[in-house]
Chain A
Amino acid sequence: MAETVRVKTMMPPGHVRTPAYLRGKCGVIERKLGEFANPERAAYGLKKEMQPLVRVRFSMGEIWGAAAENPTDTLEAEIYTHWLEKVI
Protein backbone atom coordinates (compact mmCIF):
# COMPACT_ATOMS: atom_id res chain seq x y z
CA MET A 1 0.00 0.00 0.00
CA ALA A 2 1.47 3.30 -1.12
CA GLU A 3 2.15 5.77 1.67
CA THR A 4 0.28 9.06 1.28
CA VAL A 5 2.07 12.23 2.37
CA ARG A 6 1.37 15.95 2.40
CA VAL A 7 4.02 18.57 1.65
CA LYS A 8 4.28 21.04 4.52
CA THR A 9 2.79 24.46 3.81
CA MET A 10 5.56 26.39 5.57
CA MET A 11 7.30 29.16 3.62
CA PRO A 12 10.56 29.93 5.44
CA PRO A 13 12.76 32.55 3.77
CA GLY A 14 16.06 31.21 2.45
CA HIS A 15 17.25 28.44 0.16
CA VAL A 16 14.95 25.41 0.01
CA ARG A 17 14.52 22.90 -2.81
CA THR A 18 10.85 22.07 -2.19
CA PRO A 19 8.77 23.56 -5.02
CA ALA A 20 6.37 26.22 -3.71
CA TYR A 21 3.52 25.01 -5.95
CA LEU A 22 3.56 21.62 -4.18
CA ARG A 23 3.25 23.01 -0.64
CA GLY A 24 0.14 21.62 1.03
CA LYS A 25 -0.44 19.08 -1.76
CA CYS A 26 -0.86 15.33 -1.15
CA GLY A 27 0.90 12.57 -3.06
CA VAL A 28 2.17 9.04 -2.65
CA ILE A 29 5.76 7.95 -2.11
CA GLU A 30 6.84 6.44 -5.42
CA ARG A 31 10.26 5.35 -4.18
CA LYS A 32 12.91 6.05 -1.56
CA LEU A 33 16.13 7.48 -3.01
CA GLY A 34 18.50 7.24 -0.05
CA GLU A 35 20.18 9.98 1.94
CA PHE A 36 21.58 13.19 0.49
CA ALA A 37 23.20 16.28 2.00
CA ASN A 38 20.50 18.71 3.14
CA PRO A 39 20.69 21.65 0.68
CA GLU A 40 19.18 23.97 3.30
CA ARG A 41 22.46 23.66 5.24
CA ALA A 42 24.83 23.20 2.28
CA ALA A 43 23.62 26.50 0.81
CA TYR A 44 25.06 28.34 3.82
CA GLY A 45 28.31 26.35 4.10
CA LEU A 46 27.12 24.65 7.31
CA LYS A 47 28.27 21.22 8.48
CA LYS A 48 26.95 18.46 6.20
CA GLU A 49 23.76 16.80 7.42
CA MET A 50 22.31 13.82 5.53
CA GLN A 51 18.55 13.66 5.01
CA PRO A 52 16.38 11.00 3.35
CA LEU A 53 15.07 11.98 -0.08
CA VAL A 54 11.97 10.39 -1.63
CA ARG A 55 10.18 10.69 -4.95
CA VAL A 56 6.55 11.72 -4.48
CA ARG A 57 3.88 11.22 -7.16
CA PHE A 58 1.12 13.83 -7.37
CA SER A 59 -1.92 13.93 -9.65
CA MET A 60 -2.38 17.04 -11.78
CA GLY A 61 -5.91 17.27 -10.31
CA GLU A 62 -4.41 17.53 -6.82
CA ILE A 63 -1.94 20.24 -7.87
CA TRP A 64 -4.06 22.41 -10.17
CA GLY A 65 -7.60 21.54 -9.10
CA ALA A 66 -10.31 22.37 -11.67
CA ALA A 67 -7.70 24.08 -13.87
CA ALA A 68 -5.96 20.75 -14.60
CA GLU A 69 -6.33 19.79 -18.27
CA ASN A 70 -5.73 16.10 -17.56
CA PRO A 71 -6.42 15.56 -13.85
CA THR A 72 -5.23 11.94 -13.85
CA ASP A 73 -1.82 12.78 -15.34
CA THR A 74 0.90 12.62 -12.74
CA LEU A 75 3.93 14.66 -11.73
CA GLU A 76 6.84 13.38 -9.64
CA ALA A 77 9.10 15.51 -7.45
CA GLU A 78 12.04 14.57 -5.26
CA ILE A 79 11.44 15.96 -1.77
CA TYR A 80 13.32 15.65 1.52
CA THR A 81 11.30 13.81 4.14
CA HIS A 82 11.51 16.63 6.70
CA TRP A 83 9.16 18.49 4.33
CA LEU A 84 6.56 15.71 4.39
CA GLU A 85 3.85 14.84 6.90
CA LYS A 86 1.87 11.62 7.01
CA VAL A 87 -1.75 11.65 5.88
CA ILE A 88 -3.96 9.36 7.93
Chain B
Amino acid sequence: MGGQQTDAKLPEDHDFALWEKRVDALMVLCSTKGYFTVDGLRRAVEDMSEDAFDTMSYYERWVAAVNQNMIEADAYSLAELGERMELIKARGATYGEATAYKEATDG
Protein backbone atom coordinates (compact mmCIF):
# COMPACT_ATOMS: atom_id res chain seq x y z
CA MET B 1 0.00 0.00 0.00
CA GLY B 2 1.24 3.47 -0.87
CA GLY B 3 4.62 2.13 -2.00
CA GLN B 4 5.34 0.47 1.35
CA GLN B 5 7.18 -2.86 1.47
CA THR B 6 5.13 -5.99 2.06
CA ASP B 7 5.49 -9.74 1.86
CA ALA B 8 1.80 -10.11 0.99
CA LYS B 9 1.10 -11.66 -2.39
CA LEU B 10 -1.92 -11.10 -4.58
CA PRO B 11 -4.41 -13.96 -4.34
CA GLU B 12 -4.75 -16.29 -7.32
CA ASP B 13 -7.31 -15.33 -9.92
CA HIS B 14 -10.69 -16.23 -8.55
CA ASP B 15 -14.28 -16.05 -9.66
CA PHE B 16 -16.23 -13.31 -7.96
CA ALA B 17 -19.04 -14.15 -5.55
CA LEU B 18 -22.57 -13.10 -6.46
CA TRP B 19 -22.58 -10.36 -3.83
CA GLU B 20 -19.30 -8.98 -5.21
CA LYS B 21 -20.80 -8.76 -8.70
CA ARG B 22 -23.80 -7.00 -7.17
CA VAL B 23 -21.56 -4.42 -5.48
CA ASP B 24 -19.87 -3.77 -8.83
CA ALA B 25 -23.28 -3.37 -10.50
CA LEU B 26 -24.39 -1.08 -7.67
CA MET B 27 -21.46 1.24 -8.33
CA VAL B 28 -22.39 1.43 -12.05
CA LEU B 29 -26.02 2.12 -11.13
CA CYS B 30 -25.14 4.86 -8.62
CA SER B 31 -22.87 6.72 -11.06
CA THR B 32 -25.35 6.32 -13.95
CA LYS B 33 -28.08 7.81 -11.74
CA GLY B 34 -25.75 10.74 -10.95
CA TYR B 35 -25.38 10.19 -7.20
CA PHE B 36 -21.57 10.18 -7.32
CA THR B 37 -18.62 9.22 -9.54
CA VAL B 38 -15.69 6.82 -9.33
CA ASP B 39 -13.70 9.77 -7.92
CA GLY B 40 -15.96 9.72 -4.86
CA LEU B 41 -15.51 5.95 -4.54
CA ARG B 42 -11.71 6.27 -4.61
CA ARG B 43 -11.75 9.12 -2.11
CA ALA B 44 -13.88 7.17 0.38
CA VAL B 45 -11.65 4.07 0.03
CA GLU B 46 -8.51 6.18 0.55
CA ASP B 47 -10.04 7.80 3.64
CA MET B 48 -10.38 4.42 5.36
CA SER B 49 -7.80 3.46 7.99
CA GLU B 50 -4.78 1.41 6.90
CA ASP B 51 -6.32 -1.36 8.97
CA ALA B 52 -9.22 -1.57 6.48
CA PHE B 53 -6.84 -2.90 3.84
CA ASP B 54 -5.98 -5.87 6.07
CA THR B 55 -9.37 -6.58 7.57
CA MET B 56 -11.74 -5.92 4.64
CA SER B 57 -11.79 -7.49 1.20
CA TYR B 58 -11.75 -5.41 -2.00
CA TYR B 59 -15.53 -5.38 -2.46
CA GLU B 60 -16.17 -4.95 1.27
CA ARG B 61 -14.22 -1.68 0.98
CA TRP B 62 -16.19 -0.82 -2.16
CA VAL B 63 -19.62 -1.34 -0.61
CA ALA B 64 -18.60 0.75 2.43
CA ALA B 65 -17.38 3.51 0.09
CA VAL B 66 -20.58 3.33 -2.01
CA ASN B 67 -22.61 3.70 1.19
CA GLN B 68 -20.51 6.65 2.39
CA ASN B 69 -21.11 8.46 -0.92
CA MET B 70 -24.85 7.62 -0.96
CA ILE B 71 -25.28 9.07 2.53
CA GLU B 72 -23.42 12.22 1.44
CA ALA B 73 -25.59 12.42 -1.71
CA ASP B 74 -28.71 12.26 0.49
CA ALA B 75 -29.97 9.15 -1.35
CA TYR B 76 -31.19 7.67 1.95
CA SER B 77 -30.86 8.36 5.66
CA LEU B 78 -28.91 6.37 8.24
CA ALA B 79 -32.22 5.42 9.87
CA GLU B 80 -33.58 4.09 6.56
CA LEU B 81 -30.34 2.17 6.05
CA GLY B 82 -30.47 0.70 9.55
CA GLU B 83 -34.08 -0.43 9.21
CA ARG B 84 -33.44 -1.98 5.81
CA MET B 85 -30.38 -3.83 7.16
CA GLU B 86 -32.53 -5.27 9.99
CA LEU B 87 -35.12 -6.52 7.49
CA ILE B 88 -32.46 -8.16 5.34
CA LYS B 89 -30.71 -9.66 8.37
CA ALA B 90 -33.98 -11.39 9.29
CA ARG B 91 -33.86 -13.31 6.00
CA GLY B 92 -30.78 -15.25 7.16
CA ALA B 93 -27.08 -15.33 6.42
CA THR B 94 -27.10 -17.31 3.15
CA TYR B 95 -28.94 -17.11 -0.16
CA GLY B 96 -30.48 -20.53 0.67
CA GLU B 97 -31.85 -19.29 4.00
CA ALA B 98 -33.11 -16.10 2.36
CA THR B 99 -34.95 -18.10 -0.31
CA ALA B 100 -36.56 -20.32 2.34
CA TYR B 101 -37.49 -17.23 4.37
CA LYS B 102 -39.11 -15.62 1.31
CA GLU B 103 -41.12 -18.78 0.53
CA ALA B 104 -42.29 -19.01 4.16
CA THR B 105 -43.24 -15.35 4.48
CA ASP B 106 -44.85 -15.00 1.05
CA GLY B 107 -47.29 -17.63 2.35
**A: which residues have CB within 8 A of B?**
14-15, 20-21, 37, 39, 42-45
Contact = CB atoms under 8 A, between A and B. Distances in A.
The 10 closest A-B pairs by CB, nearest first: A43-B43, A15-B43, A42-B39, A43-B39, A39-B39, A42-B37, A43-B40, A45-B36, A15-B46, A45-B40
Interface of B: 2-3, 36-37, 39-40, 42-43, 46, 69, 72-73
* Chain B interface helix/strand/loop/mixed: helix
Contacts of B36: 45
Contacts, number: 27
A78 B62 CA distance: 25
Nearest to A40: B39
A46 to B, nearest CB: 10
B45 to A, nearest CB: 10
B46 A45 contact: no
Interface-centre pick from A15, A21, A37 (highest chain B CB count, 10 A): A15
B48 to A, nearest CB: 12
A42 B38 CA distance: 9
Contacts of A44: 40, 43
Given A14-B43, A15-B43, A15-B46, A45 B73 contact: yes
A39 B37 CA distance: 9
A15 B72 contact: no
Given A14-B43, A15-B39, A15-B46, A45 B69 contact: yes
Nearest to A21: B3
Contacts of B37: 37, 42-43
Contacts of B43: 14-15, 43-44
Nearest to B35: A45
